[in-house]
Structure 1
């Protein structure tokens, strides 16, 4: 299918309360512009250098989300314009985001990335670490950051029960933290598993290949 048909197919499956983050990593400017012209304003990128290059060439009202692993020494390159950093997986990184956001006199929205998958290759905070960081935020330790929710990636498996169990685990933490201070965003689900994620309570999904097609890894 074409990008237009792919995009419409995804949007038709979503209720109004579910945010779609179109994951544009490795895809060309022309493809992103096409999806933007269909009304999409929220895009996700994995790598800082690619994100900075695309930011300079695309409409300025795009809300960019950094969804890949972020090194502390690269925060400064996106702090001026990034809408949301979904991949906060350490207190060190959160401190750096807070510092760089302060330099630009702004608050940066972040999601705490929680490790719910069994795979060792996945990044993320342990549940207890996420809870402790959130409490520090509540106590005012990161004044230039707004923790708006949680993000997680399920194990890459065809075992739907396992995926569902991992998503439910993150939803439970989301609900518990929301009792302390209401959170807005539960980012779970990608091209292969977003319907399950939505069933488990996700209100933000990250979809790339189901919109743009397979990635060109030579970029």
Structure 2
């Protein structure tokens, strides 16, 4: 099936109030254009320099999502244009985003990443770590960041009950902390090609889908 047909299929399995981020990492600009021409505007990359390289070659109204682990020294490459940073997993990173957003006279939408998987390779706050950070530092003082919600990645496993349990855990964290941030804190980014249907059932508002749209990754 073509990228256009794949996109249509995924969109039919979601609802209009869910943001579909087409994960275009490792994909050529021509693939992104094909998806864009089919009406897709939200695209996700996991490397800041790849995102910085692609952005000038593509339409200005694309909303770029930085979905990968974010190194502090790379924030400056995407701060001028990024739509949303999904993986804020430390106060130091948040401070750097604040600094670079202020330099560019922007307010950048961000999500707090939580570690919900049973795999140790995933990044993100534990719930306890997050509450420690909030006690020591007021994230709401970072005026050039708008915290919009939470993000998490489930364990890469065939065990659907485990995936569901992990997504449910992220939704519980969201419910516990949302009142600290106010009404704009309304997004839950979870679910990828292999598990987005479960994520939607468990409350996802943003899903990050790559291979189901673009096919297997190019390395």
Secondary structure in 2 matching 1:198:
helix
Q: Distance in 1 between matches of 2:192 and 2:17?
A: 17
Deviation at 1:194, TM superposition (A): 0.3
Q: Distance in 1 between matches of 2:132 and 2:84?
A: 21
> What corresponds to 1:159 in structure 2?
159
> What corresponds to 1:110 in structure 2?
110
Q: Distance in 1 between matches of 2:134 and 2:10?
A: 32
Kindly provide the CA deviation profile for residues 73-93 of structure 1, in whole angstroms up to 9, marking residues without a partner as x. 110111111110001111110
Secondary structure in 2 matching 1:164:
helix
Deviation at 1:14, TM superposition (A): 0.9
Deviation at 1:44, TM superposition (A): 0.3
Q: Distance in 1 between matches of 2:162 and 2:213?
A: 25
Task: Tell me which moved more, 5-14 or 126-135.
Answer: 126-135
Secondary structure in 2 matching 1:35:
helix
Q: Distance in 1 between matches of 2:17 and 2:178?
A: 17
Q: Distance in 2 between matches of 1:72 and 1:23?
A: 22
- For the pair 1:202 / 2:208, whether they are aligned, the reply is no
> What corresponds to 1:87 in structure 2?
87
Count of aligned pairs between the two proteins: 216
Kindly provide the CA deviation profile for residues 96-116 of structure 1, in whole angstroms up to 9, marking residues without a partner as x. 000110111111110001000
Task: Give the alignment's TM-score, normalised by structure 2.
Answer: 0.95
> What corresponds to 1:35 in structure 2?
35
* Unaligned segments of structure 2, at least 5 residues: none
Deviation at 1:179, TM superposition (A): 2.8
Deviation at 1:134, TM superposition (A): 5.7
Q: Distance in 2 between matches of 1:215 and 1:209?
A: 7
Distance 1:16 1:131, change over 3 A: farther
Task: Give the alignment's TM-score, normalised by structure 1.
Answer: 0.95
CA contact (8 A) 1:66 1:85 kept: yes
Deviation at 1:141, TM superposition (A): 2.2
